[in-house]
Amino acid sequence: MSNLNVPYSHLSHSSSRSLASSILYDIVNVSPTALHIADRRELIQALLDDLSLLTKGSKDAASSRLTRDDAALALLALKSLGKIPVGSEVIASPNNLSTLVTLANTLKDNTAASNEALRCLANCLLLIDNARMTFVQKQVGGGEAAVEWLVKASAPERVFLVSRILFLCTVSLAASSYIRSLVETKPHGHSEPIVDVVAAKLDMLLYNIQSGDAFAKEAMIDLLKMVFNLLAHYPKHTSDDQNKVLGDYWSERLDGLLPPLLKLFNTLPPSAPAPLLPPITHVIHSLITIPVTPSLRPIWFSGQSKTEPPSRSSKSSSPTGTPGPSTSSSPKDSKPGAFDRALSRLSAGRRSLSRSSSPQPPPVYDNLQHGYDLLDAVLSHYLPGDIDPDEASVRERCRKEADSSLDDIVSPLVLLVTKLCSSDETSKKRLRRWILPDDLDRTSPLEGRADLLGRCLRLLGCVHHPRLKDAAGEMLYAVCDSDASTLASYVGYGNVAGFLFNKGIMSAPPRTATSAAAPATTTSGVPIDPITGTAQKEHEPLDMTDEEKEREAEKLFVLFDRLERNGALPPNQNPIRKAIQEGKLG
């Protein structure tokens, strides 16, 4: 076993800096198994004690084995020692966490050292659950410091590290008091709440990603994880009704997060090798939690016509039109809310890129069309042609490209599209036109189609993707006015029998007044088969000889006899036995 405590303990403030660097590099490169647990703990505490002295006066700093020039390398050594839980347990004490917070602040002019202090904190919070609560306590002051770091962060790497810390501090329901203070208290010395700060950082990171900057994607992913924590936990803590589910709870304090999230949803560059990878997946997860409230409806649906559904050929990736009128008005002297501030920021960001000084409206996006296009692209990618969703190659491709399952990749996007469809009548009509157009080709089985409809119908019968199977069924159900008869009339009862059975509908529902909009014939007037959803064909008489008919009858007799003997068919329900008893078979 290596013992690096001895050479490190022999260092002093006046030691050669090259010697100090050599010993610190040895600590960085030591194998995790090369140190006894006690030696590791002792060395970690010695490093923290010496680093702590650097944050005090010059007299105390002179008694440290390290100088400020050694800080970055010493913190790197500390991070290496803390990569396993027994090391991070030492860092997790209130005094040591406070030391790292102080180092991150006092070494702010040494970016490398300050960022290493944040890495030590993030690593400790990841490995030691209890450290997360300790970190945000007043004794340590990490909760307020993290917000201040986020406010001042301008480099993607810094935003990434701070976002990781904030994500870990908000991941648990036990952090409810910190989450409430985070949302309800403005950062010290700043006029904007955390929602506005986060919106500004997301906008900045979008530009960084588009520019190909290092750490930009990682920073956005972790910031979006923190956003999801706020969306998932804060509304629940402020609600009196604890029986609601995610997406039903809401607080208007979070309204300002919707515009930047929708901007990301519509403008993030396409991902590779698959069309649905982080950070867009995290954007979708956050959007699912935001309900369509009266105040947010103009933003959710401002990019579409409020009358006749537009053509599918319209573009989804570029902003069009202007926002619809708000459903509520406020006095001129009232303070702007989070929603208004977010819109103002988006508008200001757009003006800053324009040479014109004239006011520009905030960007507006057709969220339903972009969601539909993205869903179509994702399903086409993972389920090319008319492939069976249960084929092993589908699961293998998901694991290889996204290290996930088709359920986890696609289901959230289907839920988002379903929410848009269910919350707005115009959106529902548009989506129905795209999936189930009036001129749908019904000459071949619908479930065999190489398009979104065919893939959704094949998913309804799959075994390996249960969540996506249910989500696809609910989307089709919502498109058809949440009416079983309408759904069966559009796609054939046979294609949705299993889905409807799980909803408690045991047999084919009859056509009703609510299903009158569903076609009974094709555009050419051919009746639609209610079971298959395809155009009915005239049945041609069977061209069989008497010997062939007799052989087929014998096969049926053997089949029903076997079912009866196995107990699967009661004797009184055997059609062959009934025919013999009734004298129909000689």
State the average pLDDT over residues 306-318: 41
Q: Residue 4 pLDDT > 90, yes or no?
A: no
Cβ contact 214:359 at 8 Å: no
pLDDT the model gives residue 539: 65
Dihedral angle, C-alpha 67, 69, 71, 73, nearest 10 °: -120
> 529 burial class (0-12, 13-18, 19+ CB within 10 angstroms)?
middle
Residues, the chain, total?
586
pLDDT tens digits for 245-290?
666 789 999 999 999 999 999 999 999 899 999 999 999 999 999 9
pLDDT band at 57; cut points 50, 70, 90: confident
Minimum mean pLDDT range among 12-16, 419-423, 512-516, 527-531: 512-516
Confidence band (pLDDT; 50, 70, 90) for 559?
A: confident
Q: For the segment 186-219, what is each residue's pLDDT rounded down to a tens digit?
A: 887 777 899 999 999 999 999 999 999 999 999 9
Residue 16 in this model has a pLDDT that exceeds 70: yes
pTM, to two decimals: 0.83
- So what's the pLDDT on residue 574? 80
Q: How far apart are CA 324 and CA 301, in angstroms?
A: 8
Q: Between 97 and 272, where is the model more confident?
A: 97
Do residues 209 and 217 lie in contact, with contact meaning Cβ atoms separated by under 8 Å?
yes
Q: Quick one: pLDDT at residue 45? A: 97
Report the candidate in 266, 193, 264 with the shortest Cα–Cα distance to residue 230: 193
The pLDDT of residue 150 = 97
Q: What is the DSSP letter of 335?
A: P
pLDDT at 364 (0 to 100)? 85
Task: Cite the DSSP H helix spans in 526-581.
Answer: 546-565, 575-581
pLDDT, one tens digit per residue, over 463-493 is 999 999 999 999 999 999 999 999 999 999 9
Provide the phi-psi class of 272: left if phi over 0, else alpha when psi is between -120 and 50, else beta. beta
Strand partners of residue 528: 535
Q: Are residues 431 and 419 in contact, defined by beta-carbon separation less than 8 angstroms?
A: no
Confidence check: pLDDT of 323 > 70: no
Three-class SS of residue 535? strand
Q: What is the pLDDT of residue 88?
A: 97
Provide the pLDDT for residue 313: 39
Question: Which of 29, 31, 27, 21 lies closest to 71 in space, CA to CA?
Answer: 21
Lowest mean pLDDT among 118-122, 435-439, 495-499, 511-515: 511-515
Give all strands (DSSP E) within 368-411, no chain letters.
Answer: none
- The three-state secondary structure class of 150 is helix
Q: What is the pLDDT of residue 545?
A: 84
Phi and psi at residue 380, to the nearest 5°: -65, -35
Cβ-contact 76, 86 below 8 angstroms: no
In the numeric block, which tokens belong to residue 240? 């009196």
| pLDDT at residue 515 in the model | 63
Please report the pLDDT score of residue 351 as a whole number: 41
Alpha-carbon gap, residue 449 to 445, rounded angstroms: 7
Name residue, tokens 């209890």: 130
Enter the tokens of residue 336: 């702007």
Report the pLDDT value the prediction gives residue 581, as an integer from 0 to 100: 78
Confidence of residue 167 (pLDDT cuts 50, 70, 90): very high
d(CA 491, CA 465): 21
What is the C-alpha to C-alpha distance for residues 578 and 521, in angstroms, rounded to an integer? 38
Predicted local distance difference test score (pLDDT) of residue 247: 63
Q: Can you give the pLDDT at residue 354?
A: 40
Mean of the per-residue pLDDT values of the chain: 87
Distance of alpha carbon 310 from alpha carbon 433, whole angstroms: 10
98 close to 138: Cβ distance less than 8 angstroms = no
Q: Cα–Cα distance between 339 and 350 in angstroms, integer? A: 17
Q: Give 350's pLDDT tier (boundaries 50, 70, 90).
A: very low
pLDDT at 524 exceeding the cut of 70: yes
H or E stretch covering 233: helix 216-237
Task: Determine the average pLDDT of the residues in 163-186.
Answer: 93
Quick one: pLDDT at residue 329? 35
Give the range with max mean pLDDT: 90-94, 174-178, 308-312, 559-563. Answer: 90-94
Residue that wins the pLDDT comparison between 500 and 314 = 500
How many angstroms separate the CA atoms of 489 and 517, rounded?
9
| Mean predicted confidence (pLDDT) in 421-446 | 95
Answer whether residue 385 shows pLDDT above 60. Answer: yes
SS3 string of 33-70? CCCCHHHHHHHHHHHHHHHHHHCCCHHHHHCCCCCHHH
